Amino acid sequence: MDLLSGGEMIARFLKDEGVEYIYGYPGGAALHIYDALHRQNDVKHVLVRHEQAATHMADGYARATGKPGVVLVTSGPGATNTVTGIATAFMDSIPMVVICGQVMSYLIGEDAFQETDMIGVSRPIVKHSFTVKHPADIPMILKKAFHIASTGRPGPVVVDIPKDMTMPNEKYEYKYPESVSLRSYNPPAKGHSGQIKKAVDLLIAAKRPMIYAGGGVIMGGGADLLTKLAQQLGYPVTNTLMGLGGYPATDDQFVGMLGMHGSYEANMAMHHSDLILAVGARFDDRVTNDPDKFCPGAKIIHIDIDPASISKTIRADVPIVGPVRQVLEEMLTVIDEAPARSNKEAIGNWWKQINEWRKVHGGRYDTTSDKIKPQAAVEACWRATNGDAFVASDVGQHQMFTAQYYKFAKPYRWINSGGLGTMGFGLPAAMGVKMNMPEETVVCVTGEGSIQMNIQELSTCLQYGLPVKILCLNNGYLGMVRQWQDMNYEGRHSNSYMDSLPDFKMLMQAYRHEYVEIRTKDELDSKMAEAFAMKDKLVFINCFVDPEEHVYPMQVPRGAMRDMFLSKTERT
């Protein structure tokens, strides 16, 4: 057994836990830990330019791999700067461990320099948090933190470490804890078999079924099984914003995303369905629209690992609490053994109806306009990347256009802040993916508003050679804000216009990155190809798109799933 200081234990534990990269920023209370990191070569630290970006980098990595991302920051401002990133991860159930320095334990509560009650500040946005009270506890606390962050419904965990817990000269025995048990934390390991049978009976008998799959399918590693189940049954599938890629968007059984900016056919099919199989989704307000008007004729089967997600907003008829993989596996077995097969005639009619709905809107947009439509830019990006890139997005219209028009065929490739809607997420998230998957094409789709919220990270990209591609759909407005102002505030564009944008070309020169500009629609494909051909360079693609464009369909506020605006002049 080795004798290690608290700081050394942290470094050693991360190595033993299999962590390759951590993202962070040093400062007084974390200096012992940073010194320990300096004296080893196993765990690599990535120095960001702002702590928020460290959390988004860790988050992007976690979303692309399903493994927890790790952040290291100092106390006070270092810790509070991570709050937005922790909340982002919390809302989307992303595994993350945030290690924060803290002032000396004997100074806590005295308003010491750079002291913040980080446990208190982060309490509503973490799955759990720990304060280290003795250096010898560090390995077990970190083990618990990783365990809690990555099992059950994943989420961020904060570990607050007072500086005197990491003193270089105070050494304790270190042993990597191989296992961990918590008497008050036992995530469900298996769905109830009786409920699964009941669900399969309903599925087989359904006449107008819908499979509604969310981010839980991806984080639960169940995308392949969900695809198998859907194809075995031949039922239509819709994904939430978080669930995109959980079923291949290129497949005919996929009817698009659902919800506020969901496809016409997905929302219509949901509204008229008689059975909804919800998998790893949480019926959030951007999906259901008015919950009282939600899918009036549908029975609901709800599979989720978090019992609190079930019947929170929409009552489930058949709740199944369990890991998505295990439940889907058992469902497939039960379907195999079931005497009856699905109702071919009813399902045939259902598809006929859905295909009629597909013709109504079908993701159309104005292709005759002289201006570059943002939808066309996303489609060009899809072509340039063979539909196979990891795409991180910021928040706003560009995010919705990407969700609608970049047809994700695989899980883990769509990296976006769905629940919190964090502008500034895209670039650092893309960096986190690229850092860990250097061979993959990684795109950040953003807007000229969002990109400026973490633009300082261009410097980090230079330092670590992170050749992500930034596709900026530049419309000169905070597009989604402007859209709402057009629709709800008679076009009064209060503060949704940003004067004095930086000269992005000069900015890229300053950071020694590449710059490509797209001003006309006929150069979309060629310029996009030019940008993506620069494999080893960060390229900022400044694509000037139509500022007037709105995202459609858009659900009518407080309506049912089927109530939508289809364009500036049409509604259902």
Closer CB to another protein, residue 155 or residue 411?
155
Identify whether the C-beta of residue 166 lies closer than 8 Å to the C-beta of residue 203: no
Cα–Cα distance, 157 to 99 (Å, whole number)? 9
Dihedral sign, Cα of residue 250, residue 253, residue 255, residue 259: negative
* In the complex, least distance from residue 525 CB atom to another protein, rounded to whole angstroms: 49
Candidates 102-110, 200-208, 303-311, 350-358: pick the segment binding another protein (CB under 8 A).
303-311
Q: Residue 51's Cα: distance from chain center in Å? A: 19
Nearer to another protein, 158 or 257 (CB): 158
Q: Does 307 engage in binding with another protein (CB under 8 A)?
A: yes
Cα separation of 528 and 517, whole Å? 9
Q: Which is nearer to another protein, 319 or 479 (CB)?
A: 319
Least distance (Å) from another protein to the CB of residue 184? 4
Q: CA angle, corner 61, sides to 286 and 534, nearest 5? A: 105
Q: Which of 47, 308, 510, 529 binds another protein (CB under 8 A)?
A: 308
Strands 237-239 and 44-47: unpaired
Distance CA 515, CA 384 (A): 17
Cα(345)–Cα(338) distance, rounded to whole angstroms? 18
CA distances from 196 to 271, 328, 433 (A): 24, 9, 36
**Which one of 1, 41, 124, 569 is in contact with another protein (CB under 8 A)?**
124
**Any bridge partners for residue 394, and if so which?**
none
Stretch 25-64 residues interacting with another protein (CB under 8 A)? none
Starting from the edge strand earliest in sequence, which strands make up the sheet with 442-447, in order?
414-415, 390-393, 442-447, 469-474, 539-544, 514-518
Shortest CB 291 distance to another protein, Å: 11
Between residues 68 and 209, which has the closer beta carbon with respect to another protein?
68
In whole angstroms, how close is the CB of 158 to another protein at the nearest point? 11
When the beta carbons of 124 and 491 are compared against another protein, the nearer one is 124
- 134 phi/psi in degrees, rounded to 5: -150, 135
Measured from the CB atom, the residue of 102 and 475 that comes closer to another protein is: 102
Binds another protein (CB under 8 A): choice among 119, 136, 140, 534: 119
Q: Using CA of residue 163, residue 165, residue 170, residue 173, what is the dihedral sign? A: negative
18 lies in the site for another protein, by CB under 8 A: no
Distance of closest approach, residue 319 Cβ to another protein, in angstroms: 11
Is residue 458 within 8 A of residue 408, CB to CB? The reply is no
Distance CA 126, CA 158 (A): 7
- The site that binds another protein (CB under 8 A) totals a number of residues, namely 19
Interacting positions 164-183 with another protein (CB under 8 A): 182-183
Binding mask 129-158 for another protein (x = CB under 8 A): x-x----------------x----------
Tell me the catalytic residues: 51, 113-114, 163, 480
Cα–Cα distance between 438 and 348 in angstroms, integer?
45
Nearer to another protein, 231 or 311 (CB): 311
The verdict on 128 binding another protein (CB under 8 A) reads yes
CB 185 → another protein: shortest distance, Å?
5
Residue type (1 letter), 70? V
Q: 119: part of which helix (H) or strand (E)?
A: helix 118-122
Is residue 296 part of the contact set for another protein (CB under 8 A)?
no
Give contact residues for another protein (rule: CB under 8 A). Answer: 119-120, 123-124, 127-129, 131, 148, 182-185, 306-308, 311-312, 315
